Amino acid sequence: MKKGVCPVCKKDGVHTCSACKAVAYCSKEHQKDHWKNHKLQCRPFDVKSSKNLGRYIVSNRDLSRDAIIMSESPLVFGPKMAGAGPQCLGCYQPVDPGDPKLLLCPRCKWPVCSNVCFGVIHKEHHLPECLVLCNNTEVAEAGNMMYEAIFPLRCLLLQKKNPRKWQQLLSLESHVDERKKDKDINHDVEKIASYICDNFLERLDKGSLPDMSREIIHFICGVIEVNSLEITTGRGEVHALYPSASLMEHNCMPNTKHCFQLDDFKINVFAATPIKKGENLSTMYTHILWGTQARRDHLKATKYFTCQCQRCSDPTELGTHLSSLKCIGVDPSDVTCACSGLILSSSADENADWKCNLCPVTLTSSHVADLISRISMDVDESIENPSISKLEQLLTKLEKLLHRNHYHCFMVKHSLIQLYGREPGYSLNNLTEAQLVRKINMCKELLSVIDVIDPSHGRIVLYSSVVQIELQSSLQEMSKRGISDLEKDRLLTEAKVQLENCVRDLSQEPPFSPGASISNLAKSHLIAVTQELKKFKVIEL
């Protein structure tokens, strides 16, 4: 398309498309008229395909950090499958089936949070499946609601409701053959298929849905588990499938970040780093704060591939040592001393032995997995009901076995920095200087790890913003404690920088989300710190 000539009327183009800058229109009206055709050319990415990745997405122009890459509505969304409990089918807020005041949808009799819940009456939310569920209200009356079946049912109904979206859903990867080989997965999907077929599909008129087979339900469940993105709304948890965002490949150092609009579950994907034309666009399918063994196991079990990204390929995880263990052997040069080496995984093969970098000690990968899973139970238990003394004791124990940046130590420190300053007897102004310094140092250690694995703070912005605010409050507290003016100025300036970074990192969080609340808190702290700095500078003058 020639830039400079309006593609609608061939007159001179004066309004250039601000996104791609590749086309110009004679008027805003013609730009609007042409959008339906132009939107596919305008998007800054192309969909490609390879044997290894299946379909994937590549940027077709240089993108600056924070540039918007796509903003798209879901193909379909619904309650999560695995472990879905009783919830309102309009807004996914958990409900208590034993509650005598429990409200029910007047048509299908499944529980709802209220008679005016937006999603219960909306045609994109509960309504389509409600018309099917109300064909068999006995299921709800007998309390036999299987919430895991709702999302697959919504997908099935797309065949009639929106055939174009149905075709897009069918083109997504399902790994159905691998899934069928897994006895547990196959059993769970069979249960869902029987529930949907026996209770609802068999009561529909013949031909109401072109495909009502058990095979298609297996396929759909695979598509959901492999491709759906999780949305935490503050009321409940929703999973959604997207036409393009679901095609992004996984990387443990992703170059995109995303957020969701909570009214319609539209996804907005942004560049987390500057991205060069031709680079693959990636996201993260697993937990960024897990170590390589746990991330790879999770990806293998749920997405059927072994990650070979830069972080997984480096036994030190880019120098962070998020997975490294301390050596349990003796110093090769002096057998009376403990070895000061680190036991590291083999990057190439996840089943290979872990080896010390200084002495001949090795551990099998299953031994490491056992050890880490036992530690994981201890950590989860302590963090569930935490106290400073309990977590400090646990950390001392962990740091004998694990590198101080190990992801289990990371989680304990992340809890500790929030307890110092809040636990009764440990309010910020009551902390001893040593405790305050400890809190500051832990915050800095956590940020130094986050800065490597998530440089833009796009993936773990809630974790990083908590650390930034804890660090700022500690620096500000330190600045009140009889120190030199120069030192006070340095501490307050550092606190201000943390808050500015925090506000910037949270700028794309949707209104009313947990991120937006932290952002408001950071903004109010920023005003206070800035005023304090100003006051202080005036006195200095």
Ligand X SMILES: C[S@@+](CC[C@H](N)C(=O)[O-])C[C@H]1O[C@@H](n2cnc3c(N)ncnc32)[C@H](O)[C@@H]1O
Contact call for residue 249 and ligand X (CB under 6 A): yes
52 binds ligand X per the rule CB under 6 A: yes
Task: Kindly determine how many residues on this chain lie close enough to bind ligand X according to the rule CB under 6 A.
Answer: 18
Q: Which amino acid is at 220?
A: I
Retrieve residue 154's tokens. Answer: 């919504």
Which helix (H) or strand (E) element contains residue 322?
Answer: none
User: Of the two residues 312 and 491, which places its CB atom closer to ligand X in the complex?
Assistant: 312
- From 11-19, 297-305, 468-476, 500-508, span contacting ligand X (CB under 6 A): 297-305
Angle at 463 between CA 459 and CA 466, to 5 degrees: 140
Among 59, 159, 199, 246, binds ligand X (CB under 6 A): 246
**Among 61, 58, 59, which residue's Cα sits nearest to residue 20?**
61
Does residue 297 bind ligand X (CB under 6 A)? no
Q: CB 60 → ligand X: shortest distance, Å?
A: 18
**Chosen residue from 22, 42, 53, 170 binding ligand X by CB under 6 A:** 53
Beta partners for 104? 111
Nearest to 255 by CA among 271, 244, 269, 267: 271
Which stretch of DSSP H or E encloses residue 486? helix 485-505
Written as six digits, the tokens of 334 are 């002096």
Q: Looking at the chain, how many residues does it have?
A: 541
CB of 167 to ligand X, least distance (A): 13
**Comparing C-alpha atoms, which of 93, 86, 157, 82 is closest to residue 124?**
157
Calculate the CA dihedral of residues 251, 252, 255, 256 and round it to 10 degrees.
90
**Residue list 146-185, contact with ligand X (CB under 6 A):** 172-173, 175
Do 311 and 453 contact (CB within 8 A), yes or no? yes
Q: Measured between alpha carbons, how far is 541 from 537 in angstroms, rounded to an integer? A: 6
Torsion angle of alpha carbons 205, 211, 216, 217, nearest 10°?
A: -20
Q: Does 247 bind ligand X (CB under 6 A)?
A: yes
Q: Binder to ligand X among 80, 154, 179, 250 (CB under 6 A)?
A: 250
Task: Name the minimum Å distance from CB 385 to ligand X.
Answer: 36
Minimum CB distance to ligand X, residue 444 (Å): 32
Question: Rounded to the nearest 10 degrees, how much is the dihedral formed by the CA atoms of 193, 195, 201, 202?
Answer: 110
Taking the complex as a whole, the smallest distance from the CB of residue 242 to ligand X amounts, in Å, to 10
Q: Give yes or no for residue 505 binding ligand X (CB under 6 A).
A: no
Tell me the closest approach of the beta carbon of residue 176 to ligand X, in angstroms: 12
Q: Does 359 bind ligand X (CB under 6 A)?
A: no
For residue 58, state whether it binds ligand X (rule: CB under 6 A). Answer: no
Region of 27-35, 138-146, 304-312, 533-541 interacting with ligand X (CB under 6 A):
304-312
Six-digit token string for 306: 């072994």
CA nearest 376: which of 409, 353, 405, 354? 409
- Looking at beta carbons only, is 217 or 247 nearer to ligand X? 247
Q: Which residue in 467, 475, 395 sits closest to 436, CA to CA?
A: 475
Q: Is 227 in the site for ligand X (CB under 6 A)?
A: yes
Which amino acid would we find at residue 124?
E
Shorter beta-carbon distance to ligand X: residue 266 or 303: 303
Indicate the residue whose CB is closest to ligand X.
54
Cβ at position 239, least distance to ligand X in Å: 12
Residue 51 interacts with ligand X (CB under 6 A): yes or no: no
Cβ proximity to ligand X, 281 vs 467, nearer residue: 281
- On the CB side of 164, CA atoms within 13 Å amount to 2
Neighbouring CB atoms inside 10 A of 510's CB total: 15
Q: Which of 303, 390, 404, 490 binds ligand X (CB under 6 A)?
A: 303
Stretch that binds ligand X, among 141-149, 246-254, 393-401, 497-505 (CB under 6 A): 246-254
β-strand pairing of 103-104 with 111-112: antiparallel
The least CB distance from residue 283 to ligand X, in Å, is 9
Does 199 bind ligand X (CB under 6 A)? Our answer is no
* 199/228 with CB nearer ligand X: 228
| Residue placing its CB nearer to ligand X in the complex, 55 or 161 | 55
Name the site residues for ligand X (rule: CB under 6 A).
Answer: 52-56, 172-173, 175, 226-227, 246-247, 249-250, 303-305, 307
